[in-house]
Structure 1
Amino acid sequence: MNENKAELKALQRQLETDGNQGHKRPPVHLWKPDFCGDLDMQIKRDGRWIHEGGEIKRPAMVTLFSTILWREGDNYFLVTPVEKVGIQVEDVPFFFTGLEVRQGELGQELVFTSSTDDVVSASAEHPIRVETDPQTGEPSPYLMVRYGMEGRLNRNVFYQLVELAEERAGVFGVESCGEWFAL
């Protein structure tokens, strides 16, 4: 087993023994380990995680690693209490594949589920934004997740949002948790 695979396995073992069960996220914002170098890992635009050129096929492992993501400026890291390793992110680290419309305290609530089991309600703290490619006109919708990191909405999820959209003052958008988001 080469050095990078051994490091990846060691990181996985550490996470599994650090009490990270279920959907509880570890307090990465409190951890300040030294930088240990870059790992040959990439998160693709479509949400796939690649390690040493091969896709990580175990969803539980991808979900586990997603709980220790950290962003500093334009750089992304996997962080544990004792080490911080750099990874590459093609666009944004999360990819939203599901949408549920609920009724909450503030009215309609749009609840998104990511491919790594993050559940995020669009709100003032978790806004939706849409970037439009100036050359193709194609929209790229994003949702704030945590620690300055965003997730991109799957095309089907975006189409569901468009179906929910209404016009206000000449702008099409959606409401969630009392906030208005232009699409």
Structure 2
Amino acid sequence: MSIESIEKQLKASSKIPPVHQWKPALSGDIDIRIARDGRWYHEGDVIKREKLVQLFASILWREKGEYFLLTPVEKWRIQVDEEPLLVIAAARQGEGSKAAITLSTSTGDNVLLDQQHRLFVDVNDQGEPRPVVRIRYELDALIHRNVYYQLVDWAEQSIDGAYGVWSAGEFFPLS
């Protein structure tokens, strides 16, 4: 399967509303928080309805370092502990520079690791790797530790000695 056909399948399965076109005024703050582990809370209680979390994630927007739930007529500020999305699975087709890696979030996003959906790794306060991938607009997803270890297992050494993974013809360093 070619990278182009993978991209077409992922775009066809995307159900994200056109939030980038909506420009409502700020409605206020709402007591919704997204924890580092990807769980969503409302007034301190975990939101257990997966479909509701997926709906909220589909209308999530980042602007000037703040996060909002956005509709055509409302804009509610929410709190995010670290990153608003969490990558919980990875799949790879092919190997080496011909590989295509698809990442899936806990809220139903699926993206091909490519130039538009870049992986970058910085370090957290404890000196541990903090891998993140751009999902859409300015929204990033923290890559779960198990998925990061899977990427490390697929890693290859580049010409300049860095270790990383190939996907969609791009090399993404993992350190």
Q: TM-score, with normalisation over the residues of structure 1?
A: 0.84
One of 150, 158, 164 as aligned partner of 2:154: 164
Partner Cα separation in structure 2 for residue 148 and residue 103 of structure 1: 29
SS at match of 2:99: strand
User: 1:109-137 deviations in whole A, cap 9, x for unaligned?
Assistant: 1100100010011101110001113x532
Partner Cα separation in structure 1 for residue 73 and residue 94 of structure 2: 42
Q: Percent identity?
A: 45
Partner Cα separation in structure 2 for residue 152 and residue 122 of structure 1: 14
Partner Cα separation in structure 1 for residue 73 and residue 93 of structure 2: 40
Paired residue type of 2:93? R
The match for 2:98 is 107
One of 112, 115, 120 as aligned partner of 1:121: 112
The match for 1:13 is none
Q: Which runs of 4+ in 1 moved over 3 A?
A: none
By how many angstroms is 1:149 displaced?
Answer: 1.0
Equivalence map 1:88-103=2 (5 Å): 88-103=79-94
By how many angstroms is 1:67 displaced?
Answer: 0.4
One of 41, 65, 74 as aligned partner of 2:56: 65
If asked which structure has higher relative contact order (CA below 8 Å, sep 6+), I would say: 2
By how many angstroms is 1:23 displaced?
Answer: 4.4
1:49 aligns with 2:6: no
Unaligned 5+ segments in structure 2 are 1-12
* Deviating more after overlay: 106-115 vs 55-64: 106-115
SS at match of 2:108: coil
Partner Cα separation in structure 2 for residue 50 and residue 24 of structure 1: 23
SS at match of 1:35: coil
1:77 aligns with 2:63: no
Distance 1:123 1:23, change over 3 A: closer
The match for 1:141 is 131
SS at match of 1:161: helix
Q: TM-score, with normalisation over the residues of structure 2?
A: 0.88
The match for 2:10 is none
SS at match of 1:33: coil
User: 1:7-46 deviations in whole A, cap 9, x for unaligned?
Assistant: xxxxxxxxxxxxxxx8411100111111100000000011
Partner Cα separation in structure 1 for residue 139 and residue 105 of structure 2: 13
Paired residue type of 1:76? Y
